Amino acid sequence: MGKVLYYTLVDLARNRSVLAFAALLFVVAEGLFLVEADPVKALLSLVQVMLALIPLVSLVFTVVHTYATQEFTQLLAVQPIGRGAILGGRMAALGLAFLVALLFGLGLPLTAHAAGATSTVLLASTVLLAWAFMALGTLVALVNRDKARGVGVALATWACLVLVYDALLMALLFAFSDRPIEPFVLPVAALNPIDLARIAVTIQVDLAAMLGYSGAVYKDLLGSGPGIGLALSLMMLWIAWPTIAAFRVFRRKDL
């Protein structure tokens, strides 16, 4: 697994895609802080941008990279290396690459302009979000042999979680506005890692007008600290289940 991790990291460093991702994050974050004089407002704008951009890049990049390294994976599969070690090394390398990109691209502007607990929660949320969509991207690429179909499924997944989910949630809230729906808000929010990340950050910011309905319920029922902890814990589950499913598919897959 160590050698697979090393060579995958070397390959990622050579194509410079992760470096470009880090540079993009840095330019966007630094630009928002320079445009907006109030760090809190800039931080809230940054949350909205990052919670859409990071899942998209993580998901699509993972899918494309998985298809691009398919021949290398086939070569490794005929060597005396377990399939679990092959996939584990590749996913660990991708996760480490996304971590470094986020620490430099997003961590540096946050430290320079808005250092504090909110920035820490935002950085932790985005790292978990990148890992969750990296795991989803790996699963999508392993299930779909055709590259075009895999990329299409990845984009459709992102659109459903970013756009369709919010529309369905608002429709649900309006449809059952005359009934107590607080017990159902938390399970519904757990269905979307992007919403969980948004909730964790907005609870930390502590601006009631910016929390949204699900975030307000989190804060009312659980308070600030427990609500953030629960949201981040549920995001860990979003990393775990696609990873476990990807390992099962990869072990049975005919390469």
What DSSP letter does each residue of 140-178 carry, written as one string?
HHHH--SHHHHHHHHHHHHHIIIIIHHHHHHHHHHHTTT
Distance CA 172, CA 151 (A): 30
Residue 36's pLDDT band, with cuts at 50, 70 and 90, is confident
Q: Is the pLDDT of residue 72 over 50?
A: yes
Distance CA 227, CA 217 (A): 9
Distance CA 101, CA 37 (A): 26
Q: What's the number of CA atoms in the CB half-sphere (13 Å) around residue 215?
A: 20
242 and 136 in contact (C-beta within 8 Å)? yes
Mean pLDDT of the chain: 83
199-239 pLDDT tens trace? 788 777 755 445 555 555 566 655 556 767 777 888 899 99
Q: Is the pLDDT of residue 246 over 80?
A: yes
C-alpha separations of 166 from 32, 64, 187, 194, 214 in Å: 24, 27, 14, 10, 11
8 and 90 in contact (C-beta within 8 Å)? yes
Distance CA 158, CA 60 (A): 9
Element (H, E) at 188: helix 182-189
Percent of the chain with pLDDT over 90: 36
Amino acid occupying residue 104: F
Mean pLDDT on 121-148: 92
Close Cβ partners of 146 (under 8 Å, ≥ 6 residues apart): none
The two three-digit tokens of residue 42, written as one number: 């800039």
More confident residue, 177 or 200: 200
Place of tokens 């964790």: 200
The two three-digit tokens of residue 161, written as one number: 């979680």
245 and 142 in contact (C-beta within 8 Å)? no
Q: What is the gyration radius of the CA atoms in the chain, in angstroms?
A: 19
